[in-house]
Structure 1
């Protein structure tokens, strides 16, 4: 089946999909593919997390290797670079030990660019293809199928995957292997400083006696408007700190960014500051909250609270 898809456009009738990692993002992304009619096999280290997808018609595999052996295109979206290495490259249980020649591996985890290059080389040795395609847009983007997808790898392979990517969001081809990861890391750098600006503005507005909700609406259509404001402004006010994207994973991403800055010999002080603020959340045991929980750091620093109960007196 892998050989037939090499010539034909990818469609539910000729392409079997595998998906590794059914967490906050993966759950919704998988559901779009199943609803589009694709045969999909899932693997998750915690099998119960895959149950909603099994209810939709997905099959379950007992290892990444077993999943790959019955898939033409395998997606992965897991936590850390070490997880990526384990599920894709492990010689006995990893995806590449089971993927047939002509198969395509699509890693959507935010990871190290050098690892993406390594995976692409390992895939090529087995006559397979690899694309690094991390995403931005959080849980809402995953649910709505509006993610920004940053793709690195062979251009023709990325183009072939368009029918699948279009179900998840908008794909942006960024260049060769690793370039998708570099694009996502630059995205995270931008988000980090934007989030610092948003929560600082909210604390300032609160301290100045403004109605913070009214203020958010007022600035949203001006030059200070941003996707971060749209996604998280009202969530912060409502004290909805549930993860669309985990603090723990953001700390991981920003750490990779700083490491790459060292490799490039560049100084990004805004990035370094944001990373320290997010590390302080993790130190307070708040790593499993969403990135909007940065408000907690600014509240502690300034001994204020924007929580609804405190502002309704």
Structure 2
């Protein structure tokens, strides 16, 4: 690719709910962006905005200064980075590769070491903030890797987020994201239970939110997802199936460290039940549906 307005060309792999908005913000910041997604139609909006299509992750990595990925699962991350036609084998020497998928800390370290052996700089940088944060370029970005590489990538991160913190060496970004997901898991149960309680008590849920959202109970999930629950809007800002993936990673990592996470385990069991009922592609706020159904069964 030709030199970008900002002097840096970017490749973006994974244009789903989060990735599409993140790539749009990079285009809006003046970067030349090449994109790849397994389903090309999901990148159509980006192509109309000036992004360049590439047929494989290898073509992306070979043509840009910074390669960013946000894909589905750790197995996808491993394939796109460490496969024979993956990023590490094809990226330009000296370039930066950034995995923004929520994945395992151990895989982040493997990618870092493999990249380093090929004179490539690697960061793990999972995000939080949901679809709204991605659209509005105010994601929280948790980064693991070398400080020098982090500073080189900072302008790219600043086009996508606001709260950008280097947490430590390779894998530290993923460990921090696990802390984030553990906190969200129990919080989501509380938010859903509060809304079920409000409904059962005959309260106006929107008025309830006016009071409790401004007090000690306030949280991102309460402010952003409870209104969706009330309206019956269960479209994904973040998929149930991906949240289950994250909770599995956190449970496995906690077990390796000998940490008990009972709240996380309970949340995981409820989301497993929700997904088994057909809501794997719903947003995480769909837990409300499950708890309402349980409340109605108990009332009957």
Same structural fold, with TM-score higher than 0.5 when normalized by the shorter chain: yes
- Equivalent residue, structure 2, for 1:227: 220
Q: Which runs of 4+ in 1 moved over 4 A?
A: none
1:13 Cα deviation after fit: 4.0
CA distance in 2, matches of 1:12, 1:189: 40
- Equivalent residue, structure 1, for 2:38: 45
- Equivalent residue, structure 1, for 2:89: 97
- Equivalent residue, structure 2, for 1:85: 78
1:12 Cα deviation after fit: 3.2
Which of residues 257, 263, 271 in structure 1 aligns to 2:250?
A: 257
Which of residues 286, 303, 309 in structure 1 aligns to 2:296?
A: 303
1:231 Cα deviation after fit: 0.7
CA RMSD of aligned residues (A): 1.6
Specify every segment of 5 or more residues in structure 2 that has no aligned partner in the other structure, as ranges: none
1:14 Cα deviation after fit: 2.2
3-state SS in 2 of match to 1:303? helix
- Equivalent residue, structure 1, for 2:110: 118
Give matches, 1:1-20, under 5 Å.
Answer: 12-20=5-13
CA distance in 1, matches of 2:218, 2:73: 31
Deviations 1:79-121 (A, max 9, x none): 0000001111111x21112111101100000000000000000
Which of residues 189, 192, 203 in structure 2 aligns to 1:199?
A: 192
2:125 aligned with 1:133, yes or no? yes
Deviations 1:245-297 (A, max 9, x none): 00000000000010011100111100000000111111001000000001011
Deviations 1:198-249 (A, max 9, x none): 1111111211121111111111111111111111111110011000000000
3-state SS in 2 of match to 1:225? coil
CA distance in 1, matches of 2:6, 2:253: 42
- Equivalent residue, structure 1, for 2:211: 218
Deviations 1:138-160 (A, max 9, x none): 00000000000000000111111
Give TM-score scaled by structure 2 length.
Answer: 0.96
Total equivalences in the alignment = 297
- Equivalent residue, structure 1, for 2:262: 269
Which of residues 222, 225, 237 in structure 1 aligns to 2:230?
A: 237
CA distance in 1, matches of 2:250, 2:290: 21
- Equivalent residue, structure 1, for 2:143: 151
Specify every segment of 5 or more residues in structure 1 that has no aligned partner in the other structure, as ranges: 6-10, 305-313
Further displaced range: 207-216 or 188-197:
207-216
2:14 aligned with 1:21, yes or no? yes
CA distance in 2, matches of 1:37, 1:144: 16
CA distance in 2, matches of 1:201, 1:64: 44
3-state SS in 1 of match to 2:225? helix
Deviations 1:179-205 (A, max 9, x none): 000000110010111110011111112
CA distance in 1, matches of 2:246, 2:48: 32
Give TM-score scaled by structure 1 length.
Answer: 0.92
- Equivalent residue, structure 2, for 1:61: 54
